[in-house]
Amino acid sequence: MKIAIDCMGGDNGSSVTVEAIKNFLSKHKDVKIIAVGKKEELKDLDGLCEIIDARDVVPMEAGALEVMRMKESSMFKAVTLARNKEVDAVVSCGSTGGFLSVSTLCLKTIPGVHRAALVSPFPTKIIGKKVVVLDIGASNENSPEELLQFGLMGKLYAQNVLGVEHPVTYLLSNGTEEGKGSPEGKEAYKLFKESNFEGFKGNIEARNALSGEADVIVTDGYTGNIFLKGLEGVAKLMGGLVSKAFKKNLWSKIGYLHVRKGMKELKDTMDYKSTGGAMLLGINGVVVKAHGSSDAYSFECAMNVAYKLTNSNIVEKIKEGLSK
């Protein structure tokens, strides 16, 4: 297996991606990495993996057209490797918009796919169980047909990556009744029903999204993005308050020693970093977007996501699933 890494463009610079690659390689002898970026910043990788020099860095706020013109950028070069089938997957923590655009334009959507979707597993109340939510931000608006297809792609992801045999799928909505939802959501509901979508259970409210009932939750990209970031925000706020509670004084620090194990469970459950990266589902390749603010640990997790997705042959599975 070969994975191309766009080493540049993240909030924390190339040192993070370099460290992640070193850690990843120490655990995966079966993977070849191609690191793309300013070669003088990637010196620590000499002898460990192939390095491709790229002089430009795509800025965070780059738009689609801008990235497509930046042919000397690490991002463009990394995606090009995937297009030329020289690698099986590509990972970046650079500009989300830029990476999604260049990936979609270079790799193209799978025949029959209306729109690619950004997908990530979320923690649930049931320890170890994840729920797949898509789209969490590749699109701004989605048609009912696209939502139905997201359901299918999400189901295939849950089956092949998370190992759920019969995934339970819901539409994210502002109420559980059939008549609830955005105009597109209501239409999508009908399409799910008409197509006898296996495992479709109707609408789910955001408050129950992490309850563990659902394996797959379908939403338009705008709402999915608000949902994702809202969760991140409140998890961070609460995490901060918990830490603060334990740091008040010597006694509270002693208190921490007594609940360390339980708190680790909390941290592991809510650790969005460990989910690592979101995959762009529906295009001809494994494309994983790591968080812009990734540290070495979370970038390594994103590389693990790419590894797992490649192994699961998710792209072929989606092609097969769609042709049925």
Contact positions vs a copy of itself (CB under 8 A): 61, 124-125, 137, 140-141, 172, 174, 177, 181-183, 205-211, 219, 221-223, 225-242, 244-246, 248, 251-252, 254-259, 261-263, 265-266, 269-270
- In the complex, least distance from residue 43 CB atom to a copy of itself, rounded to whole angstroms: 35
Please, what is the minimum distance in Å from the beta carbon of residue 252 to a copy of itself? Answer: 5
The 3-class SS string of 109-157 reads ECCCCCCCEEEEEEECCCCCCEEEEECCCCCCCCCHHHHHHHHHHHHHH
Q: Report in angstroms how near the CB of residue 310 gets to a copy of itself at its nearest.
A: 29
Handedness of CA 143, 146, 148, 154 (dihedral sign): negative
The dihedral over CA atoms of 60, 64, 69, 74, expressed in degrees to the nearest 10, equals 40
Report the nearest approach of a copy of itself to the CB of residue 127 (Å).
9
Quick one: tokens of 64?
């689609």
Six token digits for residue 99 = 């990476």
CA distance 82 to 196: 36
End-to-end CA distance of the chain: 28
* Residue 295 CB contacts under 8 Å (≥ 6 apart), including other chains: 12, 16, 273
Nearer to a copy of itself, 193 or 267 (CB): 267
- For a copy of itself, the closer CB: 195 or 293: 293
How far is the C-alpha of 303 from the C-alpha of 31, rounded, in Å?
A: 11
Provide, rounded to whole angstroms, the least separation between the CB of residue 68 and a copy of itself.
18
Of 274 and 313, which CB lies nearer to a copy of itself in the complex structure?
Answer: 274
- Pick the closer one to a copy of itself by CB: 112 or 175: 175
Q: CA 303, CA 34: separation in Å to the nearest integer?
A: 12
Handedness of CA 191, 194, 196, 199 (dihedral sign): positive
Gap between the Cα atoms of 127 and 81, Å rounded: 38
Minimum Å distance from CB 44 to a copy of itself?
32
Cα 239 from Cα 235, distance rounded (Å): 6
CB of 87 to a copy of itself, least distance (A): 29
Which of residues 14 and 182 has its CB atom nearest to a copy of itself in the complex? 182
Query: Which CB sits closer to a copy of itself, 221 or 285?
Result: 221
| Closer to a copy of itself by Cβ: residue 6 or 220 | 220
- Grouping H, G, I as helix, E, B as strand and the rest as coil, residue 103 is helix
Q: How far is the CB of 177 from a copy of itself (least distance, A)?
A: 6
Q: Given the structure tokens 């260049």, which residue do they identify?
A: 102
Nearer to a copy of itself, 112 or 230 (CB): 230
